[in-house]
Structure 1
């Protein structure tokens, strides 16, 4: 009996030793490490400080010098077939110079014949006067002279109506090059334009013409030198029956215009629309607009805070802040 108990004890011990020895064969479990603590990524902003200064809203453009005094030339009394145009663009003309002419058919012949008739009537009158003709015969001869002279003047007037002459000294700035000899010309049809090159003003025809008003002061730059200018005409100031050409540009008179400036020369202009001095200014890109609400993003203690603002003058690059931002505050651009 004791032998059985001893045997069982030995077997149990052997099994326990075998079990303990088997556990050593399994791989040891790794100790789990705690995850590292991640520091938040710092947010970087592009900022600019709100500054105090002056802001000016302007219109800039360019114009060309044109004549203050210019006039279209046309046939006023009659139309007809064009004989020829005797001037070209850029020609200098004097008052009374022949510019163009219509065909007169037999008018030159009729004038020559009437000159002879007048001469004949005068000879007859002188002959009668020298022969002591009676007063009635002499009166009839005088009437014949007057009639012949009146007919001659009528024919010369008709001739003059076929000739277009300049009524001013100047330079030809326009010729209707579509016209050719033989073309029919109507009464009051613009054919030639003559301008006085000594009286010039600056003409601006940019997209902002509606911003100009009579009497407005304009800075004019000619060859890098500044001059004072004043608006003397606008499209809206031209009367309905005025020169149509004046309705196409703003006219600017320049003080102390250099003598070497000629028609067609270019100049730069600057018109001040609005300005503010010693005010808060931020870049235009810093001002946001959402459904009519205007605001900026201000960097405060490292945080991005939205702040409503009231704005004043706006230019292409800057905005005036009337309320909502103080000088020196960091404004977030992006």
Structure 2
């Protein structure tokens, strides 16, 4: 009995030791740091090589156009100015939009001092005429040289009066044509400089489209060619080229507008003339348009039916060589081509390709 008891007691001690060891091990593990979780990296996809675009060789109606912007102007237009310098504008009888008749007075300068002086000269000349009559009666009694000098003095006074009358006449500005006042550059009381523009009169019944082209574009067009004119807020109308610009060799290419009947050039070198523009007559003038209305024109200078074309991005060049890359069932190959017309979106191929082939873009 004592042996059995001792054996059970020993077994209980062993169990207690094992239990204590298990507790110590468990508590020890709780004090250790937690292991970091393994980071999951995203899957890296290798970049794909970009595929160059491929285009089919097609046919189309190919047009090369010349385009430009401009405005409506009048075929008959006069820029008015005074030729008398340094005078105040005493009278201005028009404003923009007024309709005037040829010969109508537009304005007058202040020449009161000249008019007063002219009156004095005329009175004095009447006295000189009386004296001259007496001189003529005594001609036979006078020395021929003295008589000739008297005649010269008398004629000089007559000429001085005529010159002053002509100078005063310059103070009045009249309309050289009938039309509409489209510009007024001065106001009453202004100090006027000779030949500076005062007003512009336009015959608005003779409106045409006017544009300026580059030298290269002018070489592509001619009188009579059809034109499409796009008028601001009025739509598109058809027309024809009426006139090409005329070089002004006398003034280095500058305009030389009308002078209101007063002669001279002066400030008129900067005036626009119809001759400075390419002019287009319209088949029909839309309602509501007026001089100065903005517009654009388009002229077909070359047209070809069934032209073989490719996009400009498919055309390649190296030195003097022009070629394309053609792709077919055998892969890519280079083909030399001959180019015709070119637009912003299409290139004509005269030789080297046929419709239906495919070319590689860049």
TM-score range normalised by the length of the shorter chain: 0.5 to 0.7
Say yes or no: does 1:65 pair with 2:75. no
Match of 1:93 among 97, 100, 119: 100
Structure 2 regions of 5+ residues with no counterpart?
1-47, 125-158, 257-268
Identify if the C-alpha distance between structure 1 residues 158 and 42 changes in structure 2 by more than 3 Å, giving closer, same or farther.
closer
Taking the TM superposition and a 5 Å limit, the aligned residue runs for 1:118-267 are: 158-177=167-186, 181=189, 183-186=191-194, 188-205=195-212, 208=214, 210-212=216-218, 213-217=221-225, 218-222=227-231, 223-234=234-245, 236=247, 238-240=248-250, 243=256, 245-246=272-273, 249-258=277-286, 260-267=288-295
Equivalence for 1:82? 88
Equivalence for 2:299? 271
- Cα-to-partner distance string for 1:109-150 (whole Å, 9 max, x where unaligned): 578899999xxxxxxxxxxxxxxxxxxxxxxxxxxxxxxxx9
Identify if the C-alpha distance between structure 1 residues 109 and 240 changes in structure 2 by more than 3 Å, giving closer, same or farther.
closer
Does the Cα contact within 8 Å between 1:49 and 1:331 map onto a contact in 2? yes
Equivalence for 1:320? 348
- Aligned counterparts of 2:176 and 2:340: Cα–Cα separation in 1: 54
- Aligned counterparts of 1:327 and 1:275: Cα–Cα separation in 2: 19
Taking the TM superposition and a 5 Å limit, the aligned residue runs for 1:282-293 are: 282-293=310-321
Equivalence for 1:37? none
Identify if the C-alpha distance between structure 1 residues 296 and 151 changes in structure 2 by more than 3 Å, giving closer, same or farther.
closer
Count, aligned residues = 260
Q: Which moved more, 1:316-325 or 1:271-280?
A: 271-280
Identify if the C-alpha distance between structure 1 residues 155 and 50 changes in structure 2 by more than 3 Å, giving closer, same or farther.
same
Query: TM-score, normalization: structure 1?
Result: 0.65
- Runs (4+) off by over 6 Å: 110-117, 150-156
- Cα-to-partner distance string for 1:184-242 (whole Å, 9 max, x where unaligned): 522x4432221111111111136x46413440522223433431221413254x45356
Does the Cα contact within 8 Å between 2:57 and 2:308 map onto a contact in 1? yes
Identify if the C-alpha distance between structure 1 residues 85 and 286 changes in structure 2 by more than 3 Å, giving closer, same or farther.
farther
Q: Which moved more, 1:221-230 or 1:161-170?
A: 221-230
State the 1:71 CA deviation: 1.1
Does the Cα contact within 8 Å between 2:96 and 2:183 map onto a contact in 1? yes
Does the Cα contact within 8 Å between 2:237 and 2:283 map onto a contact in 1? no
Query: TM-score, normalization: structure 2?
Result: 0.61
Does the Cα contact within 8 Å between 1:221 and 1:269 map onto a contact in 2? yes
Q: Which moved more, 1:257-266 or 1:54-63?
A: 257-266
State the 1:324 CA deviation: 0.7
Identify if the C-alpha distance between structure 1 residues 176 and 229 changes in structure 2 by more than 3 Å, giving closer, same or farther.
same
State the 1:64 CA deviation: 1.1
State the 1:306 CA deviation: 1.1
